[in-house]
Chain A
Amino acid sequence: MDILLEAKELTKRFGAFTAVDGISLSVRKGEVLGFLGPNGAGKSTTMKMLTGFLAPSSGSAVICGETVTTGNVKARARIGYLPEGAPLYGDMTTREFLAFIAASHDIPKADIPDVVESAAGAVHLHGVMEQRIETLSKGFKRRVGLAAAILHAPDVLILDEPTDGLDPNQKFEVRRLIEAMSLDRAIIISTHILEEVDALCHRAVIINKGRIVADGTPSELRARSKYRNAVTMLVPAANAERTASALKRVGGVLRIEAASEGDFMRLTVVPQGNADIAEAIGDIAAVSNWQVSQFSVDPGRLDDVFRQVTEGDGVSTASFTAEAQS
């Protein structure tokens, strides 16, 4: 159990407003922790406390045995941090900027060119090394920020919305990079993009109003969704009503949601209490003439869980019901 980062009851108050309210978490070596929450939930404030930018009102964070404070330089040396929006010195060239970051990490002067080269290579910056940072595209700027965060080979990486504002290809690149780096370090990424959690994270923590409201592996979280074990199928629109009324009679079915897709209708059968209804429905579908295509069982939906835990019970968000259809 190599716990590289541990936070205990971190709390931050700004005047009367409590931005972060007693957050405890730990991240092991090799683990990528997804830090989720709606805007204003306290994600960035928590990360600012973990990196020693803000002093917590109470509670503490320990990184590799060093307590993080605004004055503890040793703790900061173990962290690679990409602040929200990846702020950079626009008037420097990429190479100058990375060399400055390397020097601030006390890397010996003779090693700096190599360190800069390899960090730049890891995020594919070679074409823009002599360009001023303010002239770079958003994707390149983010990558410069990432290179700066990783160049001193930190044990803990804290990345605040690393893929925010990138196009799908760039997102994919950044994720692959984070994955490659996760082997021997502890990584925390904050995001409100849920697909990222599936693509990257070994564990996800959802916070709301400064408190942790869910903590688990992506599959565990997904299992809390009311859509877990729901069955989705595509049937011709003409058959939809007949099919829906037949499905409603199957034991364990809570309700049926329908969405139109051209000549077809997508039916989602939501079970009561996540009961396993796939087999029963499959049997009926086999003997009836519904012309079912794309039959699938839902493992649960993260966005649904996210809404459930961050805005009350979430039942009100179910849009289509079979009752409304008929």
Chain B
Amino acid sequence: MKSVMTIFRREFGSYFATPVAYVFLVIFLVMQGMFTFYIGQFYNHEQADLAAFFTYQPWLYLFLMPAVAMRLWAEERKSGTFELLLTLPVPVGAVVTGKFLAAMAFAALALFLTFPIWITVNWLGTPDNGVIATGYLGSLLMASAYLAIGSALSATTKNQVVAFILAVTVCFLFLVSGLPMVLDLFSGWAPDPVVEAVANLSFLTHFNNLQKGVVVLSDVFYFIAVIALWLWIGRIVIESKREAG
């Protein structure tokens, strides 16, 4: 646990070593604002909830979370610190976890900085803050799932751009598997349980449940399972890459 914290602190600190982190936070907040107010038509709805705020997050995260995760391992491998890191007396599992938690904390910080929208909606009306809280929980879980995918794919290459593109592609598959256009491909011929399974693989399905204020344990568990699976995949990739040098 202590070694997880050591890795976490270094990794989280390194986000802020360059201005990139601040640029990222600004981009995130501006984009989030645009989606909420222009595309989501937050004011025109005249409803005291944050549906307009949460609805477009899966798409926003699709590009922003891979950008947060892409450097996690690719940079270590490119600069050779991969060898330094893996010869420290720290278990590989702790390194994988520490790095992921740092990325997750960064995403949580970005999400936290959206608090003015929460103040706004509470000032304009009387929303159900329980629903908003589960929305934020779902949002963080979904962001973390994207980051776990991005982290594993970052270990496959020394090139951050390649890591980014791979992560966007895989995340996209996880995202669209719940959309009608994908489900229609299956519904014509596949038995219903298969269609349901594909729909259940989607981030959208589970995220939508949470942002409606329904905290079903299965939705939370789904995201945790996805995160655990991808961290495990990431660890296997790292073990195989160290052999390749």
Contact B83–A87 (Cβ < 8 Å): yes
Option from A55, A87, A103, A148 in Cβ contact (under 8 Å) with B80:
A87
A58 to B83, CA, bound (A): 21
Check: A52 CB closer than 8 A to any chain B CB.
yes
Residues of A83-130 at the interface with B, using a CB-CB cut-off of 8 Å, are 83-85, 87-92, 96, 100-101, 103-106
Check: B3 CB closer than 8 A to any chain A CB.
yes
Main secondary structure of the interface of A (DSSP, over half): loop
Contact A104–B88 (Cβ < 8 Å): yes
For the complex with contacts A92-B14, A106-B2, 18 further pairs of A-B residues with Cβ separation under 8 Å are A48-B83, A70-B239, A76-B87, A79-B87, A81-B84, A85-B80, A87-B79, A87-B81, A87-B84, A89-B79, A89-B81, A96-B13, A103-B6, A104-B6, A105-B88, A105-B89, A106-B3, A106-B89
Give every chain A residue within 8 A of B6 (Cβ-Cβ): 100, 103-104
Option from A55, A74, A85 in Cβ contact (under 8 Å) with B243:
A55
Query: Which residue of the partner chain A has the closest CB to B10?
Result: A100
Check: B173 CB closer than 8 A to any chain A CB.
no
Query: Closest Cβ of chain B: how far from A109's Cβ, in Å?
Result: 10
Option from A54, A91, A103 in Cβ contact (under 8 Å) with B17:
A91
A71 to B94, CA, bound (A): 12
Contact A52–B84 (Cβ < 8 Å): no
A81 to B239, CA, bound (A): 20
Give every chain A residue within 8 A of B18 (Cβ-Cβ): 91
Contact B79–A71 (Cβ < 8 Å): no
Give every chain A residue within 8 A of B162 (Cβ-Cβ): none
A residues at B contact (CB < 8 Å):
48, 51-55, 70-71, 73-74, 76-77, 79, 81, 83-85, 87-92, 96, 100-101, 103-106, 148
Give every chain A residue within 8 A of B243 (Cβ-Cβ): 54-55
Enumerate 13 A-B pairs (CB-CB under 8 Å) in ascending A order.
A53-B86, A70-B86, A71-B91, A73-B91, A76-B88, A83-B87, A87-B80, A89-B10, A90-B79, A103-B9, A104-B6, A105-B89, A106-B89
Contact A51–B90 (Cβ < 8 Å): no
Check: B92 CB closer than 8 A to any chain A CB.
yes
Give every chain A residue within 8 A of B239 (Cβ-Cβ): 70
Query: Which residue of the partner chain B has the closest CB to A102?
Result: B6
Give every chain B residue within 8 A of A54 (Cβ-Cβ): 242-243, 245
CB contact under 8 A between A104 and B90, given known A53-B83, A90-B79: yes
Give every chain B residue within 8 A of A87 (Cβ-Cβ): 79-84
Q: How large is the interface on B (under 10, 10 to 19, 20 to 34, 35 or more residues)?
A: 20 to 34
* Mask of B88-132 contacts with A, CB within 8 angstroms, 1/0: 111110000000000000000000000000000000000000000
Give every chain A residue within 8 A of B92 (Cβ-Cβ): 70-71
A81 to B9, CA, bound (A): 22
Main secondary structure of the interface of B (DSSP, over half): helix
Give every chain B residue within 8 A of A88 (Cβ-Cβ): 81, 84
Query: Closest Cβ of chain A: how far from B75's Cβ, in Å?
Result: 9
Query: Closest Cβ of chain A: how far from B83's Cβ, in Å?
Result: 5
Give every chain A residue within 8 A of B9 (Cβ-Cβ): 100, 103
Query: Which residue of the partner chain B has the closest CB to A97?
Result: B10
A70 to B6, CA, bound (A): 20
A48, A52, A89, most chain B CB atoms within 10 A: A89
Contact B87–A52 (Cβ < 8 Å): yes
Query: Which residue of the partner chain A has the closest CB to B91?
Result: A73
Query: Which residue of the partner chain A has the closest CB to B90?
Result: A104
Contact A53–B88 (Cβ < 8 Å): no
Give every chain B residue within 8 A of A71 (Cβ-Cβ): 91-92
A16 to B9, CA, bound (A): 41
Give every chain A residue within 8 A of B3 (Cβ-Cβ): 104, 106
Which 7 pairs show the lowest CB-CB distances between chains A and B?
A: A87-B80, A91-B17, A77-B89, A76-B89, A103-B6, A104-B88, A83-B83
Contact A92–B87 (Cβ < 8 Å): no
Query: Which residue of the partner chain A has the closest CB to B84?
Result: A87
Query: Closest Cβ of chain B: how far from A89's Cβ, in Å?
Result: 6
B7, B9, B86, most chain A CB atoms within 10 A: B86
Query: Closest Cβ of chain B: how far from A199's Cβ, in Å?
Result: 27
Contact A73–B90 (Cβ < 8 Å): yes
* Mask of B226-245 contacts with A, CB within 8 angstroms, 1/0: 00000000000001001101
Give every chain B residue within 8 A of A103 (Cβ-Cβ): 6, 9
A101 to B13, CA, bound (A): 15
A90 to B84, CA, bound (A): 13
CB contact under 8 A between A101 and B17, given known A53-B242, A87-B80: no
Query: Closest Cβ of chain B: how far from A56's Cβ, in Å?
Result: 11
CB contact under 8 A between A91 and B89, given known A83-B80, A83-B84, A104-B6: no
Query: Closest Cβ of chain A: how far from B70's Cβ, in Å?
Result: 16
